[in-house]
Amino acid sequence: MTGTREHILDAGSRLVHVQGFNNTSIDDILKECGVGKGNFYYYFKSKDELGFAILERSLERFGTELIEKSFDSCKDPWRQIHDFLNFLVDLARHQDGSGGCILGNLAVEMSDVHGEFRRRLNGAFDRLRSRIEE
Q: Domain of residue 72: give its range.
A: 3-133
Q: Which among 131, 17, 16, 127 has a CA at the least distance from the CA of 84?
A: 131
Pairwise CA distance, residues 60 & 74, whole Å: 22
**pLDDT score at 64:** 85
Write out pLDDT tens, residues 45-96: 999 999 999 999 988 888 888 888 888 888 898 999 899 889 888 888 887 7
97: pLDDT strictly greater than 80 = no
128: pLDDT strictly greater than 60 = yes
Sequence-distant (≥ 6) Cβ neighbours of residue 17 within 8 angstroms: 99, 102, 105
Write out pLDDT tens, residues 28-50: 999 999 999 999 999 999 999 99
Q: What is the tally of structural domains in the chain?
A: 1
**pLDDT score at 1:** 47
Pairwise CA distance, residues 8 & 24, whole Å: 13
Q: If pLDDT is split at 50, 70 and 90, which confidence band does 2 have? A: low
In this structure, what CATH number is given to the domain that contains residue 44?
1.10.357.10
Pairwise CA distance, residues 119 & 6, whole Å: 24
Residue pair 57/8 in contact (Cβ under 8 Å)? The answer is no
Count CB-CB contacts under 10 A for residue 21.
Answer: 23
Pairwise CA distance, residues 109 & 125, whole Å: 15
Stated pTM of the model: 0.82
Better pLDDT: 91 or 6: 6
Residue pair 37/30 in contact (Cβ under 8 Å)? The answer is yes
